[in-house]
Amino acid sequence: MRPGIARYDGNAEWYDETFSAFHHQNAQAWFRECLGPGGGAVCLDVACGTGRSGRILREMGYRAVGFDISADQLRFARPRLAAAVRADARRLPLPGASADVATGMYFHTDTEDFAAVVGEVARCLRPGGRFAYLGVHPCYVGPFVYRLDERQDQALTFKPGYGTGGSGTGGWTSRGSGDGSRIGGRVGFHHKTLASFLQAFGNAGLILRSVREFVAPDGGILPWDLALLTEKPRPAGRQIPRASR
Ligand SMILES: C[S@@+](CC[C@H](N)C(=O)[O-])C[C@H]1O[C@@H](n2cnc3c(N)ncnc32)[C@H](O)[C@@H]1O
């Protein structure tokens, strides 16, 4: 495995200023609904960045342990999370089957190896453990569509670029994400097709429990974010009926 590149080193200050708040209310509500009260349990926050999920996870009663490859991002995360560890999420410094809950937000476009990260999260989860992931929608956010004028135009124009580049399943682009964040120009943007995004969870053996699409808080024509709640299966014969969990 080639060492991961900390693309956000040198960009953490900008990232923290630009994305200081947690995500929109709908996403917060979804996280609360999916994960339920933490009761002091550890929640792995994979690719935690500056730790902006820390407040909501703390409010929900979780002890958030963040992992990120960027030392610069972790400077901001440390005071916001119970612990923040520098690690490549493709190889987390954790024993197998050691965590009940993991979250991840807005990082599938930051790694070419998303499937490896999801596989690693699955390794770390106990059977029955859950992984909640929220990120930009593979179909509607990327270098192939400019999203900033849709409210005034009541229209969207899609250009070529979905699923092209690199391996044919997407690829790095500095053209940006079309969402005005300028993130592509700074750290690159690795688009995933919907198929390769979903397949990452399937390859890891995770079961899909909930899927949601979110429009931007100020409206828009098409969804902006996609969220999945997945679960690591219990060994056969040890399934517990949903109602009694
Ligand atoms: C867009 S930021 C999202 C941060 C945070 N989850 C949030 O919602 O604000 C993407 C993060 O993924 C991290 N990252 C990218 N590849 C990684 C890897 N292989 N292992 C760990 N972190 C990684 C980057 O350093 C960056 O902090």
Pocket flag, ligand 1, residue 45 (CB < 6 Å):
no
Residue ranges with strand state E in 79-198: 83-86, 99-105, 125-136, 172-173, 189-190
Residue 33 CB partners (closer than 8 Å, separation 6+): none
Q: Answer whether 77's CB lies under 8 Å from 51's CB.
A: yes
Cα 242 to averaged position of ligand 1 atoms, centre (Å): 32
| Average confidence (pLDDT) over 28-34 | 92
Q: Are strands 189-190 and 172-173 parallel, antiparallel or unpaired?
A: antiparallel
Q: Which atom of ligand 1 is nearest to the CA of 110?
A: 15
The pLDDT score that the predictor gives to residue 148 is: 86
- In this prediction, residue 240 has a pLDDT band, given cuts at 50, 70 and 90, of low
Helix (H), strand (E) at residue 44:
strand 42-46
Name which of 220, 217, 216 is nearest 155 in CA terms: 220
Cα 103 to averaged position of ligand 1 atoms, centre (Å): 12
pLDDT at 100 over 80: yes
Instruction: Give the SS3 label for residue 225.
Output: strand
The pLDDT score that the predictor gives to residue 238 is: 61
- In this prediction, residue 166 has a pLDDT band, given cuts at 50, 70 and 90, of very low
Pocket flag, ligand 1, residue 60 (CB < 6 Å):
no
Pocket flag, ligand 1, residue 49 (CB < 6 Å):
yes
Cα 116 to averaged position of ligand 1 atoms, centre (Å): 14
Q: Are strands 42-46 and 99-105 parallel, antiparallel or unpaired?
A: parallel
Name the DSSP letter for residue 142.
B
Pocket flag, ligand 1, residue 23 (CB < 6 Å):
no
The pLDDT score that the predictor gives to residue 167 is: 45
Tell me if the domain spanning 12-138+190-234 has CATH number 3.40.50.150: yes
pLDDT at 226 over 70: yes
The pLDDT score that the predictor gives to residue 216 is: 84
Cα 107 to averaged position of ligand 1 atoms, centre (Å): 5
pLDDT at 138 over 70: yes
The pLDDT score that the predictor gives to residue 22 is: 60
149 to 4, 28, 145, 154, 155: CA distances (angstroms): 35, 26, 11, 8, 8
Cα 238 to averaged position of ligand 1 atoms, centre (Å): 35
Pocket flag, ligand 1, residue 115 (CB < 6 Å):
no
Domain coordinates in residue numbering, the chain: 12-138+190-234
